[in-house]
Amino acid sequence: MSSSKSFYATTPIFYVNDAPHIGHAYTEVAADVLTRWHRQRGESAFLLTGTDEHGEKILRTAAANKVSPKEWADKLVTESWLPLLETIDVKNQDFIRTTEPRHEKNVQVFLQHLYDTGFIYQGDFEGNYCVGCEEYKTMADLIDGEGDFDGQKVCAIHTRPVEKLKETNYFFKLSEFEQPLLDYYAANPRFVQPESAKNEVVSFVRRGLEDLSISRSKEKFDWGIDIPWDSSHITYVWFDALLNYITAIGYGEDTAEAKAKFESLWPASVQIVGKDILRFHAVIWPAMLLAAGLTPPNQVFGHGWLLVGGEKMSKSKLTGIAPSQITDTFGSDAFRYYFMKAIAFGSDGSFSWEDLSARYQSELANGFGNLASRTIAMIHRYFDGVLPAASQHTEADLQVARVAAEAVAKADQAIDDLAIQDAIAAVWTLVDELNNYITVQEPWALAKDEANRERLATVLNTAAEGIRALTVLLAPITPKACATLWSALGQGSLGDLADQKLSQAGVWGQLKAGAAIGVLEPLFPRIETEAK
């Protein structure tokens, strides 16, 4: 790991109390697309994901399944969470588990530092605790229960009753960071995004911050990391979990290698979270870092919820959909494309099988896939699979090149703004331009007259060059299809797809006339059966 600054993206680390659904996969794919895009630019890029394995919720789930918490976590990670990354084709550089020694040891280093510098003290606490959120709730966070819980106050997120707890715990002086945080938000207006999320966080902090209970007595439960100066207490799960973003990249380690890695990656470029855990990441987390003398991440981005039937997905409400239910039919590329294109990143979005199926057919199979297939098929049919040279360029040919250059610039800017859907829309202007170009130029008609041979060659060369640009641009979104297409286009003559710089994707004339073009299988095969 070089000491130069790298692009560093993180996902939340996910609870292992259950198997993942498409909401989790959505977060993973978004972070992966951003990381792959930066890598395609030629930057060093690092993606961290992982699992949160401590806390009362895990302990209770494990007990209900008659195994130890560690056995339960091992089983879920091995059978569900690691396979998820393969299912949706996520190329992460690390996977952190909060039960790993590298994490537990350095959480204690961080805690000890805050204790020694006076940011942690012992005190009494009484409050309403939601086991599902692993969080104490204010009355503003509670709503009136319905059905079985009629007459009780329930958590607004989990709609289950909270538990009244009274404990002597250790506290973090979060209240001291009210003004420093407000100053930080003002000085770094892009720290919390999107804008609606920033406004919510700022108004929350302005209402005043209370000190945060960061421990639980082992008399209550013992599944967690010991408080280093008091082994009768374990660390509150969020204080433990948030630290994964730095323990995974060398925080607390003394080796030169670990220090260089930490320096190259921290502060993180972007931390992708669901909006339901935004406050932890945009309030508690930067306060912890400021207390420790560390710089907060460059950006925390709170994306919206995936809705099914108008409701946030939930296993308990049977609205959770396993990612494999989609990928088994449509493939991982279609999964990635659909969720990044159909939903504005940062907003809530509804999933439906009908919309997925329609977009697969019209945009992927008929739009991009058919464009690639028929262009390569015509090069085989009319030029024996050898790329012909272009000669006299017309305005129509030059327009394709202009659209490609504009698509590169607009997509690249959209990624910097974390508007992934806008980046894909910009790329799709080239898909549409090329399809229209082939329709208007009618190479099949040109092929009927030998006098049009040069024009036919120019048209197919232009189409192939446009597809080359598309392959580079779409590689972070649909990596499998693009690897297949690149292999057919380049036949080894263009170098690896991973080495193609995004900024150069729109530069014309990179394909070499006379190069062999491979045969291409359909990138997005027709799906005749119903998706559901």
What positions carry a catalytic annotation? Answer: 21, 24, 130, 133, 155, 158, 312, 315
Q: Are strands 212-213 and 163-172 parallel, antiparallel or unpaired?
A: antiparallel
Exposure class string for 494-515: b at 16+ Cβ within 10 A, else e: beebeebebeebbebeebeeeb
What does residue 421 show for φ and ψ, rounded to 5 degrees?
Answer: -65, -35
215 beta partners:
235
At residue 45's C-alpha, the angle toward residues 403 and 472, to 5°, is: 25
Cβ distance 409 to 505 under 8 Å?
Answer: no
Cβ distance 6 to 63 under 8 Å?
Answer: no
Going by C-alpha positions, the residue among 135, 136, 118, 104 that lies closest to residue 172 is: 118
Helices (H) and strands (E) in the chain, counts: 21, 18
Alpha-carbon torsion 79, 80, 81, 85, what sign?
A: positive
Cβ distance 4 to 264 under 8 Å?
Answer: yes
How many angstroms from the chain centroid is the CA of residue 315? 21
Q: In what order do the strands lie in the sheet with 349-350?
A: 311-312, 306-308, 349-350
Show Cβ contacts of residue 210 under 8 Å, excluding neighbours closer than 6 positions.
174, 175
- Euclidean distance between CA atoms 376 and 191, whole angstroms: 45
Which helix (H) or strand (E) segment is 94 a member of? strand 94-97
Show Cβ contacts of residue 398 under 8 Å, excluding neighbours closer than 6 positions.
none
